Structure 1
Amino acid sequence: MGRAGGLVAGYGEAMSDLDREAPTLEALTARLAELDPEQAARIRVEPAPLAPEPSNAAAPPPVYASFSDFLAKTTPGQRLAWCRTKAKKANGERLMSPAPEHRITAADVATILMTARGRCAHCGSLAVERRPSNPANGAPLPWEHVGRRIGSLGHVVARFHGGTNTPDNLAWSCLWCNTWQSERIPGATDRGGYHPEGD
């Protein structure tokens, strides 16, 4: 699968209505068939699994002990670059939803992150880590064992369902809750969920 050239396909497979934040794989495939072949070749289709896979992987210790620790161990420039990446993804055209009318900025994302103090709006886990990658080549590594600690920008009402890209429709989320609505469990400690006291 190649780079999407700014187009990103949503989740897929036959997900339940509870989990449906994006089109099914069948809907994505049908939409791809309608596109110009050159445009279709640029689109990366990444269906999410039907449900979280059971994992025997033990979660490593958290990278940051608290939100204050995250702020102390990262520079403003590093945090802004991370927020810029999240804004770029949120502003991108998707296969089943056009580019949003409102373009969110890195500063908007930073405000959402800081207001939430890095806590997932759904499970409350401190979600300020990045997806794990292989230090040798940067290739992505499986993330299911730390999914509740990976920071993500989620839409309250999904763009696929007509949600806007405005700050009032965006919330800081862990990648786990942002991927599966049915996994939004307040106080969850599975998948590396981490709830430091007093920060």
Structure 2
Amino acid sequence: MSNRKKAAQGPLPENPTLAQLEAFLGALPPSERRKMKAQLRPAPRGQPGDYDRAIPVPAPQYSSWDDYLSRTTERERRAWCARKAHKANSARLMSGPPALRITAADVLGILMSARGRCRYCNSLAVERAPFANGRLQPWGHVGRRIGSLGHDVARFNGGDNALDNLSWACNWCNTWPEERIWGATDHGAIPAAGPA
């Protein structure tokens, strides 16, 4: 009997090693393997609960790229990109020598070349985190509308901060790579967020 079959037959110890986990998963049929991986990595918080369903999904701030350009000034766009660059240069996200830090002009260039569209799902991602009645909206409703700067090859996979490794993404796709579905949304709300 192979080691894979032995691993699948017996239960996993309370604190399994990585090798034990890989052997156990490798012995499972593909459908069971997918189910188990989904259980280990739960769905994003954006899946609306009862409370979230009661909050109406706000209308998009911008209907198109041209609408975004006509309703914002160059100064506003540069200020927003400067905030994005400042956040991106924090040690947690893109730590590296100062020579590798990105500037507001870099962020603006990436935004303009992408025309505000997420590289992964094609959502128009040019909004800031919206507030309804002074409270932050559940971002599952609008996560695909919020613009973000992402790495094509992630930093923890050896990617760097070079401009050819950076792309425009919505917050949703940038946070959960497994949720990247081309054309997943119309104007940013996840499909389950609407009335059931």
TM-score by length of 1: 0.65
Question: Looking at CA atoms only, which structure, 1 or 2, has the larger radius of gyration?
Answer: 2
1:51 corresponds to: 43
The CA deviation at 1:132 is 1.5
Unaligned runs of 5+ in 1: 1-48, 194-199
Cα shift readout 1:73-93 (whole Å, capped 9, x = no counterpart): 111111001101111122111
2:37 corresponds to: none
Matches within 5 A, 1:161-176: 161-176=157-172
1:155 corresponds to: 151
2:96 corresponds to: 99
Structure 2 Cα separation of the partners of residues 192 and 114 of structure 1: 23
Matches within 5 A, 1:72-91: 72-91=70-89
Determine what percentage of the aligned residue pairs are the same residue: 58
Structure 1 Cα separation of the partners of residues 154 and 103 of structure 2: 18
Q: Report the residue type matching 1:182 in the other structure.
A: E
User: Per the alignment, do residues 165 and 140 of structure 1 end up closer, same or farther by CA in structure 2, a change over 3 Å counting?
Assistant: farther
The list of structure 1 runs, each at least 4 consecutive aligned residues, that deviate by more than 4 angstroms after superposition, is: none
Structure 2 Cα separation of the partners of residues 59 and 156 of structure 1: 30
User: Per the alignment, do residues 157 and 62 of structure 1 end up closer, same or farther by CA in structure 2, a change over 3 Å counting?
Assistant: same
SS state of the match for residue 88, structure 1? helix
Q: Would you tell me which structure has more helix in proportion to its own residues?
A: 2
The CA deviation at 1:140 is 3.8
Structure 2 Cα separation of the partners of residues 131 and 172 of structure 1: 16
1:192 corresponds to: 189
Unaligned runs of 5+ in 2: 1-40, 191-196
RMSD: 2.4
Structure 2 Cα separation of the partners of residues 110 and 176 of structure 1: 20
The CA deviation at 1:161 is 2.3
Asked if the contact 2:89–2:95 (Cα under 8 Å) also holds between the matched residues in 1, the reply is: no
The CA deviation at 1:103 is 0.9
TM-score by length of 2: 0.65
